[in-house]
Amino acid sequence: MRVAYYQGCSLEQMASEFDISTRMVCEALDIELVEIPDWSCCGSTPAHSHDPLLSAALAGRNLAIAAQQGCEVVMTPCPGCLKALKGALKVYKDPQKRAAFLEILQMPFDGNIKAISNLQLFFENVGMDAVRRRVTKPLTHLSVVPYYGCLLSRPAEFMQFDDPENPVSMDRILEAIGASVPDFPYKTECCGATYGVTRNEIVGRLTGRILDMAQRVGAQAIAVSCPLCQQNLDLRQAQVSRHCHREFHIPVLYISQFMGLAFGLDPRALGINKLFVEADSLLDFLTSESEAAAATDGKIA
C-alpha cells in the first residue's frame, strides 16, 4: 500500500514521537509512506482567520505536490491538518471559488486526491485482521480508553469517517492489539483546545472531567490521535491536578505508540520516554503480563 504522508508542523516539533511512531507502525504494516517534498504548513487557524481562500491554497499546495508524486491518497495523523486538507478540496470543488483558488495556488491541480487520517488508514484501508496478524506482544489486561476529541469525526459531512457522537475506530484498533477498552462517555468531549495558555482554567476544568472519567471507568492509560489533545492531557496533567485539587497520574499515549508496543517495537524508539506523565508502570505491567503468558504457555507445552 502506497500513500502520501503529510506530517505537518506539530509532528515535526512538539509531537515528533507521534510522527516517529506512525512511521514505525506503517513500516510494520507494509505501508509505503511517500514523503511530500518541500511540504509547507497547512495554515492552521491563523491563516484561515486572516484569509480563508489563502488558507485553502496553502493546504492545497501540499495536495498538489502529493498528486504530482503519483499518489491518490494523502494521510495525515494531525486532525487540524486533515481539516485543512479537506477544506482545500472543498474549496476546489466549489465552482464559485475554484478559479480564485487555482490563481493563488499557481500549480496544476485536478482535485482527484483523497485526504484521510491515520485512524482511517489503519481501520479502513489496512483492516483489523491485518493489524491483529502483526501483534506479537498483545496488550493483554491493559485497560485503555480512547479519547478522540472534537475534530477526528466532526463535522460528519466534512470528515466523512466514523460516527461523530460515538466513534469506534480507535476502540476497535485497541481491541485488535489486545487491550481492554471500557465504555468511555467522554471520548468526544472537548479538552480545551488552544486555551491552555490564555485561559488555562478552561483547560483545567474540561481536561479534569476527562481524566476523572477515565479514572472512574478503571483506565490505566488513555489513547489519543491528536497532538493538541495529547498536550492538554499529558503535558498539563499536573496543572489540571492542581486545578481539580486531586492527583491524576494517567499515561497518555498516541494510538501509534500503543500499536508499536503491541507489534513488539522498542518503547524508547516509539518515544514513550518523552511523556510528561511517565509510563514506566504501564511498561512494567505489560512486561509482567507477557512473562506470565509465556510461563503459562510453557506449562501447557
CB atoms within 10 A of CB 246: 12
Tell me if 2-119 shares its fold with 137-300.
no
Judge whether residue 79 has pLDDT over 90: yes
Percent of the chain beyond pLDDT 90? 83
Cα torsion angle, 239, 243, 246, 252, sign: negative
pLDDT for the residue numbered 47 = 63
The angle that helices 79-92 and 98-105 make with each other, rounded to 10 degrees, is 120
Percent of the chain beyond pLDDT 70? 96
- What is the C-alpha radius of gyration for the chain, rounded to an integer number of angstroms? 20
What distance in Å separates the CA atoms of residue 87 and residue 261, rounded to the nearest whole number? 34
Contacts of 166 (CB under 8 A, 6+ apart): 187, 188
Topology classification of domain 137-300: Rossmann fold (3.40.50)
Give tens-digit pLDDT for 83-99.
999 999 999 999 999 99
pLDDT for the residue numbered 49 = 66
Residue 184 to residues 126, 143, 144, 218, Cα–Cα distance (Å): 25, 11, 10, 10
**pLDDT, mean of residues 56-63:** 97
Judge whether residue 45 has pLDDT over 80: no
DSSP state of 18: H
Helix (H/G/I), strand (E/B), else coil: 151:
coil
pLDDT for the residue numbered 300 = 60
pLDDT for the residue numbered 144 = 99
Q: What are phi and psi of 119, to 5 degrees?
A: -60, -45
pTM > 0.85: yes or no: yes
Q: Who has greater pLDDT, 199 or 249?
A: 249
Are 262 and 178 spatial neighbours (Cβ–Cβ below 8 Å)? yes
Could you tell me the residue ranges of all domains in the chain? 2-119, 137-300
Beta strands in 148-285 (DSSP E): 221-224, 252-254
Sole residue written with cell 466513534? 167
Give tens-digit pLDDT for 174-211.
999 999 999 999 999 999 988 877 888 888 999 999 99
**pLDDT, mean of residues 127-137:** 98
- Average predicted confidence (pLDDT) for the chain: 94
pLDDT for the residue numbered 299 = 63
Are 179 and 216 spatial neighbours (Cβ–Cβ below 8 Å)? no
User: Considering the domain 2-119 in this protein, what is its CATH number?
Assistant: 1.20.1050.140
Judge whether residue 69 has pLDDT over 90: yes
